[in-house]
Homo-oligomer: A and B are copies of this chain.
Amino acid sequence: MADAAYTYDYSPALVPAADERGEGMWRWRRLLPLDGADVFPLPVGGTPLVAPPRLRAALDLPGLLLKDETRSFSGSNKDRATALCLADAARRGAPAVVAASSGNLAVSCAAGAAAVGIPAHLFVSTHTVSPHKVALMRAYGATVWRVDGPYEDAYRLSEAVCARLGWYNRNTGTNPLAVQGKKTVAFEVWEQMGRTLPDLAYVPVGDGTTIAAFVVGCEELVRCGVAARVPRVIGVQATGAAPLVAAYAAGRVDWTPVPSTTFADGIGVGDPFFGRAALEGVRRTDGEYVAVDDDAIRAAIALLAQTSGLLAEPAGAAALAGAIAHCAQHRPGEERVLVLVTGTGLKDQRWLPQGGGAAIEVGPSLDAFLAALERADGSDST
């Protein structure tokens, strides 16, 4: 099912006209397998494209653009996939929806299921799930099955449950609608950039769905005849979970699974479900794969927050870390460089960067403040 290929009768008529009505991802209904606008009640997509002047200056990247997916209903780009899957589940009258995840996918699925009124059953591993994430899933009313075993056990059980009970399977590795939903981010970037695609695009890679979908979206715009060529797409993995980086460099379409050791849980995938599509897709764009270590990701979170006012989670800032490392070697000059910011840092305080602004104790008088300010300025300049 994961390889099911959706194709369309590509032509400019599938692309919304500039003055056509319709907001968010359903604006692209003619390039989707179904139009969920009347089924899925939460607005999805239509996230901002940000031109960050201070970050551009700091990195000497005058053509840098950020696609800010943190503004989605559950704070991550998983919501695009959730919307399409849950609209499908609602149309089919599914008795329940199932996902195995301990992160953003499960939280997104819980929120989307609540919105359409289908019970959500989420399978998490007791070995890896954080209590905060379980609390978030439960807040949306989902039933959380805490499976006594590693993540793979939770995943296998969720698949077995769907097979036995006929519950709707939202797992990204199984449900081809995930890629279809997520590809809409490329469409929006194209429209927000004045109906043109960027030259370079940096995309974080965990299970590979986001980057595979981004490439598909760009390719479909070319097939529709509204874009001249796809951007070079650069996949960014965390050094602690980078099986595709080595595989890509070796020209292979398979990879050696690794244990994940990165703190960036959203991309901490050592054996990606969509690895093949993620490798082949990037290769078709003449792209690259790069790895960034956890310190580089932490630095990117801090830089993004402190120059742009945009707080990302580790996986959400990984593409920026990759862009910084990669652009330092391959100066893009005036090229238009897109960085996908996939998830919010507001959701989990463990993600907050250290070493930001100072916190200073002070008495309530102006004199006390002025003395403390002088001391602080003095320590800044030493």
Contact = CB atoms under 8 A, between A and B. Distances in A.
Query: What is the interface residue range for chain A against chain B?
Result: 35 or more
Contacts of A144: 357-360
Contacts of A140: 305-306, 309, 311, 356-357
Given A115-B52, A148-B363, A365-B157, A138 B309 contact: no
Contacts of A19: 19
A134 B359 contact: yes
A364 B148 contact: yes
A143 B360 contact: yes
B148 A362 contact: yes
A379 interface: no
Nearest to A154: B364
Contacts of A85: none
Interface in A341-369: 344-347, 349, 352-353, 356-366, 369
A145 interface: yes
A149 interface: yes
Contacts of A110: 309, 357
A147 to B, nearest CB: 5
A282 interface: no
A164 interface: yes
Contacts of A73: 68, 71, 309-310
A13 interface: no
B51 A114 contact: no
Nearest to A140: B305
Interface stretch (A2-10, A40-48, A327-335): A40-48
A207 to B, nearest CB: 21
A301 to B, nearest CB: 8
A283 to B, nearest CB: 34
B356 A141 contact: yes
B117 A54 contact: yes
Contacts of A311: 74, 111, 136, 139-140
A277 interface: no
A223 interface: no
Contacts of A161: 366, 369
Nearest to A75: B346
B138 A358 contact: yes
A160 interface: yes
Contact of A308 (B74, B114, B305): B114
A13 to B, nearest CB: 22
Nearest to A163: B366
A53 interface: yes
A346 B310 CA distance: 15
A132 to B, nearest CB: 5
Given A71-B72, A110-B309, A157-B362, 12 more contacts: A41-B50, A52-B115, A54-B115, A114-B309, A139-B311, A140-B357, A145-B362, A146-B362, A147-B363, A148-B362, A157-B364, A157-B366
19 contacts: A41-B53, A41-B308, A43-B68, A54-B115, A111-B305, A113-B309, A114-B305, A115-B307, A115-B308, A137-B357, A139-B353, A145-B372, A146-B360, A146-B361, A146-B362, A157-B365, A157-B369, A161-B369, A344-B346
